[in-house]
A and B are shown apart, each in its own frame.
Chain A
């Protein structure tokens, strides 16, 4: 998972998609 500022978070093995959802929730939403 790569933040807008380039920071990388690695989820090894089979990803816990709940973590991906939580990561998305914590990110600013893209402008449309």
Chain B
């Protein structure tokens, strides 16, 4: 959701309304639709419309404005061959989406949910700026690209940080003459918010190293002189960036306390609810299955393909008594344990060993399982 230059509120979201009709007509319908609506008064929205079909169904959207009543949406599209790369649509007017413009050809083929959305900013000179994560064949990691105008092609992607630092969750902010980029990194021990200011005319960015803080110190305020925007970080989301209303050179960092829950015994594997998957759980799980061939299936409530796939796992479990299946719900969101249990039960998996991410420092959980796993479902 975003407020346009004319004060109207624009909302865009991923919408599954076209899935059922396609199924009824025996037509494949990968992904979701990109839907939108306007609010003129900020209290109610008008009719909802579909801008286009077959977008990735779980990745965050980026919204900016090319002018009053002309929203621009950056999103992960599903291209031919289940390639989940990014694209931008610029509205010609409030209700006419323009053509799809591909940001880059990363060639990330994945029939699952990447769980990484792009960020978009449009500078006062009309240039477009997009940052995104990919694990494609052509490139892997966090990238930035710019286009000179609404009609021009995007330039070559430029790497942000290095893949080994698990850069993710980028946010861009065009604030007058400045362009800010912030993202998260995780080195296996601590998460960091990293900040860079992008020079418009120069080929690449300058990293604001003094804006970085150890995760454990994010609770205290910090000041980074080169940064002229407010930055907020929370433990279970990526960083968010907004213009500093005071216009001053202040940066404010805050972080919610990490939710630490007590470790549960893995002896309760046959219990009704999922076991809490926390730091150290992967080692415990591996130890409890040592010497036994085991299939570990990663899934999530926010992963559409996972939900379609689950009943097939249920049938396999029923057919193959020799299958030792472990299910791990790995959504990067606070888990709804009742929904996890109900979904597994509906798929015939109520009696399978089930775990669910509960530690909201989910980068660390993923790192323990596979340092190269960036959070997409299922695991690459």
- Contacts from A to B (Cβ < 8 Å): 1-4, 6, 10-15, 17, 20-21, 23-24, 27-30
- Expressed in whole angstroms, the minimum distance between the Cβ of A2 and any Cβ of chain B is 5
User: Can you list 27 contacts pairing A with B, beta carbon distance less than 8 Å?
Assistant: A1-B294, A1-B296, A2-B289, A2-B295, A3-B293, A4-B291, A6-B286, A6-B290, A10-B379, A12-B110, A12-B378, A12-B379, A13-B110, A13-B111, A13-B112, A13-B378, A14-B308, A15-B378, A17-B312, A17-B316, A20-B295, A20-B323, A24-B293, A24-B323, A27-B293, A29-B322, A30-B322
- Expressed in whole angstroms, the minimum distance between the Cβ of A19 and any Cβ of chain B is 11
When the two chains form their complex, are residues A14 and B112 in contact, meaning their CB atoms are under 8 A apart? yes
Nearest opposing residue in chain A for B305, CB measure: A14
- Asked if B309 is an interface residue, CB under 8 A from chain A, the answer is yes
How many chain B residues touch A (CB < 8 A): the figure is: 27
- Contacts from B to A (Cβ < 8 Å): 109-112, 286, 289-297, 305, 308-309, 312-313, 316, 320, 322-324, 378-380
CB contact under 8 A between A1 and B293, given known A17-B313, A17-B316? yes
- Chain B residues with Cβ below 8 Å from A6 are 286, 290
CB contact under 8 A between A4 and B292, given known A15-B309, A17-B312? yes
Most buried by B among A3, A13, A23, A24: A13
- Expressed in whole angstroms, the minimum distance between the Cβ of B259 and any Cβ of chain A is 29
Complexed CA–CA distance, A21 and B305 (Å):
20
- Expressed in whole angstroms, the minimum distance between the Cβ of A32 and any Cβ of chain B is 10
- Expressed in whole angstroms, the minimum distance between the Cβ of A31 and any Cβ of chain B is 11
10 closest residue pairs by CB, A with B: A13-B111, A27-B293, A14-B111, A13-B112, A12-B380, A2-B294, A4-B291, A1-B295, A14-B305, A13-B110
- Expressed in whole angstroms, the minimum distance between the Cβ of B195 and any Cβ of chain A is 32
- Chain A residues with Cβ below 8 Å from B286 are 2, 6
When the two chains form their complex, are residues B112 and A30 in contact, meaning their CB atoms are under 8 A apart? no
Partner of B322, one of A1, A17, A24: A24
Complexed CA–CA distance, A15 and B113 (Å):
13
Complexed CA–CA distance, A21 and B318 (Å):
12
Complexed CA–CA distance, A29 and B112 (Å):
31
Nearest opposing residue in chain A for B296, CB measure: A2
When the two chains form their complex, are residues A4 and B293 in contact, meaning their CB atoms are under 8 A apart? yes
Complexed CA–CA distance, A19 and B140 (Å):
27
When the two chains form their complex, are residues B309 and A14 in contact, meaning their CB atoms are under 8 A apart? yes
- Chain B residues with Cβ below 8 Å from A10 are 379-380
- Chain B residues with Cβ below 8 Å from A2 are 286, 289, 293-296
- Chain B residues with Cβ below 8 Å from A27 are 293, 322
15 new A-B contacts, CB < 8 A, other than A2-B294, A20-B323, A29-B322, are: A1-B293, A2-B289, A2-B295, A3-B293, A10-B379, A12-B378, A12-B380, A13-B112, A14-B112, A14-B309, A14-B378, A15-B297, A28-B293, A30-B292, A30-B324
- Chain A residues with Cβ below 8 Å from B296 are 1-2
